[in-house]
Structure 1
Amino acid sequence: MRILVTGGCGFIGSALVLHLVHDLGHEVLTLDALTYAANPVSLASLADDPRHRLVEADICDAPAVRAAFAAFRPQAVMHLAAESHVDRSIADPGAFVRTNVIGTQVMLDAARGHYEGLSGVDKEAFRFLHVSTDEVYGSLPPDGYFTEESRYDPRSPYSASKAASDHLARAWHETYGLPVLVTNCSNNYGPRHFPEKLIPLMILNALEGRALPVYGDGLNERDWIHVEDHARGLVAVLERGRIGQTYLLGGRAVRNNLAVVKALCAAFDRLRPDHGPHEKLISFVADRPGHDRRYAIDPGKAEAELGWAPSKSFEAALEDTIRWYLENEGWWRPIREGRYKGERLGLATKAG
């Protein structure tokens, strides 16, 4: 298949693109604005692969997006591009509305124009997969779980902007007949994760002997899924999901933040015993505004309908993730030092 992936230089996007090309042999056009959280180095293994092309373009740039559709003529779209950090959304909500809402509208309009020009088998097979987050559902009570029927209740500018994008995707299906699928996923972890997020931040701070800052009392709960399990789930939804349906993808690994950080410290004590015990680095900091207490996903619908299930054990995969960061300083060091913004490695083609 020819698949257009937005945000393919980000954390989840790069894992998906590598899976699509290396493991499944698809032809992929990655569309990415290469903003702060995107790193083209994540796709360096595809630099000479004729099945992959990276185009630098903003999803809010309608002419550039239409040009990408016209040149590539995708058989499917997997839309992952988004601003995704809650703290940043609190500081600059406008950027989140622009990318997550306006950008999604631009993508849907371009996909609709492309779809309406198809016919026969090509039109029947086309899909637009919109990738979202469990944060759109707000905070759960103790022991609660999100399902596809959960009520939307976003609490931050980030989650509100993603909720809006979900509604737009469904509206383009209902109003225009665009064959849309929607996924909402729990917290991801794994290699090539931007270092401001919880797990990679803690890994690199622990490596450097810095404080491990935990919000509030550390008992906020999240459901963790390995990014490679998520990538497999997205492909399963694209290939076997029912048009117009939503599928929740979770790792069945609910942990509170403090437990995650302590598990990471225990793994570091095994891997770098001369620097331990690492728990002494844990510090508690003022909680952030609107910090939801619990997210947890029931992925039963995806498991039953699609034959997909998470395969990674959290503690074992967490240790593997730590090992990846220890062995790939060349990937994270430029980011950590703020040098990577201008680096393109010759991998990107400017749109237009």
Structure 2
Amino acid sequence: MKKLLVTGGAGFIGANFVHYWLTLHPNDNVTVLDALTYAGNLGSLMPVMANPHFRFVKGDIANTALVEQLLLEERIDTVVHFAAESHVDRSILGPDAFVQTNVVGAHSLLKAARNVWLKEPAHPLSHRFHHVSTDEVYGSLESDEPAFTEATPYQPNSPYAASKAASDHMVRAYYQTYGLQVTLSHCSNNYGYYQYPEKLIPLCIHHILQGKPLPIYGDGKQIRDWLFVEDHCRGIELILQQGHVGESYNIGGMNEWQNIDIVTLLCDLVDAEFAAAPVLTKRYPNAPYAKGISARSLITHVQDRAGHDRRYAIDCTKIEKTLGFKPTESFASGIRKTLHWYLDNQRWVEEAENRDYQTWLSQQYDNRS
């Protein structure tokens, strides 16, 4: 039986990982540590709150003493580190928070893990610290360049990417210097359930339903590789079970799309859903289809952001050959599942954006950790 500490477990990928792990490993214990900043949403964890194998703790990963306490109390043998500031636009406007969480916070976790796992004789010696990173640390690709491999040199172009690159290097240093048993993974753009609505796919769905403009940076021809979030969770599971200590693995969807094509696809899919289910017109009267026009009419090109990387692409050869990973969800099926989830869960979106509600929800757990 494993005992996991999942940092950032109330965020998008972290929450999906918690659901995935408890479903497939029902006898394992999972403790979530999350500070519940703007992108952390306890509503994403409500389906597992009553599970006796689950514990939620509101707290900061930079609180080394708290992390050490949790590692000891729960006899944690596996840390899966998702917690991060991750929005590039926000990192451009305010990089300090990204350095604090992604660099200082990651180092605090590593210190706590070393203090407990390598200095505390009463704790099991077998352990794993898995660090979840991003393909953005590798920089940008031209359209004809080969995809990123694990050997691609780091060339981060945004404060967010630079902060993640710094934490990657710190994780490696703790492996090389202290012998901490670490693994790393770099993923491409995730999509799926419980994603905060500032990111491209949920933002577009929400804006279409509300009849709001769909902002497209520049010409919209930036290329991203899209990975269904449950496939990402599956990849991390394989790394934890079979991955080699000290190694890094790229997890990608092998599914490149231009941003503008993603947006137009979502417009057409939402219009098709409205055509097939007239009840949606009553539920979302501000949507373009309800007014007799196409959702594509909402597309609005805006000034490109500073340092906007042109293309990301992940080469999954290593994890495919060594661990047997392959995405199981096609983009056609994954994007429809995602759209249906958001159509059925707009209350979750509204609550995620309602800071007063999130503050109230967070306060309910201030004294229950």
Sort the TM-score into its range (normalised by shorter chain): over 0.9
User: Secondary structure of the residue that 2:221 maps to in structure 1?
Assistant: coil
Select the residue among 351, 354, 362 that pairs with 1:334: 351
Q: Does 342-351 or 203-212 show the bigger shift?
A: 342-351
Select the residue among 31, 53, 61 that pairs with 2:63: 61
What is the alpha-carbon distance in structure 1 between the residues aligned to residue 352 and residue 5 of structure 2? Answer: 26
Cα distance, 1:345–1:336 mapped onto 2, change above 3 Å: closer
Partners of 2:213 and 2:298 within 8 A in 1: yes
Partners of 1:57 and 1:350 within 8 A in 2: no
Q: Does 109-118 or 87-96 show the bigger shift?
A: 109-118
Offset of 1:346 from its aligned partner? 7.6
What is the alpha-carbon distance in structure 2 between the residues aligned to residue 251 and residue 192 of structure 1? Answer: 19
What is the alpha-carbon distance in structure 1 between the residues aligned to residue 185 and residue 336 of structure 2? Answer: 27
Partners of 1:86 and 1:158 within 8 A in 2: yes
Offset of 1:344 from its aligned partner? 2.4
Residue 219 of structure 1 pairs with residue 221 of structure 2? yes
Residue 196 of structure 1 pairs with residue 213 of structure 2? no
Alpha-carbon deviations, 1:43-98, whole Å to 9, x = none?
A: 10111111000000101112212211121121111011000000000111000000
Structure 2 unmatched runs, 5+? 276-288
Select the residue among 326, 348, 363 that pairs with 1:309: 326
What is the alpha-carbon distance in structure 1 between the residues aligned to residue 317 and residue 260 of structure 2? Answer: 27
Matched to 1:98, the amino acid is Q
Structure 2 equivalent of residue 173 of structure 1: 175
Offset of 1:234 from its aligned partner? 0.7
Structure 1 unmatched runs, 5+? none
Structure 1 equivalent of residue 12 of structure 2: 11
Structure 1 equivalent of residue 314 of structure 2: 297
What is the alpha-carbon distance in structure 1 between the residues aligned to residue 64 and residue 120 of structure 2? Answer: 20
Residue 207 of structure 1 pairs with residue 205 of structure 2? no
Alpha-carbon deviations, 1:197-227, whole Å to 9, x = none?
A: 1111000001111111110000000000011
Matched to 2:194, the amino acid is R
Select the residue among 316, 319, 322 that pairs with 2:336: 319
What is the alpha-carbon distance in structure 2 between the residues aligned to residue 224 and residue 163 of structure 1? Answer: 21
Percent identity between the two aligned chains: 45
Q: Does 92-101 or 23-32 show the bigger shift?
A: 23-32
Q: What TM-score does the superposition give when structure 2 sets the normalisation length?
A: 0.92
Offset of 1:119 from its aligned partner? 6.4
Partners of 1:47 and 1:347 within 8 A in 2: no
Partners of 2:65 and 2:112 within 8 A in 1: no
Q: What TM-score does the superposition give when structure 1 sets the normalisation length?
A: 0.96
Partners of 2:136 and 2:156 within 8 A in 1: yes
Partners of 1:56 and 1:350 within 8 A in 2: no
Alpha-carbon deviations, 1:83-123, whole Å to 9, x = none?
A: 00000001110000000000000000111112114669932
Alpha-carbon deviations, 1:252-298, whole Å to 9, x = none?
A: 11001001101111111110134442111111000000000000001
Cα distance, 1:280–1:349 mapped onto 2, change above 3 Å: same
What is the alpha-carbon distance in structure 2 between the residues aligned to residue 23 and residue 245 of structure 1? Answer: 24
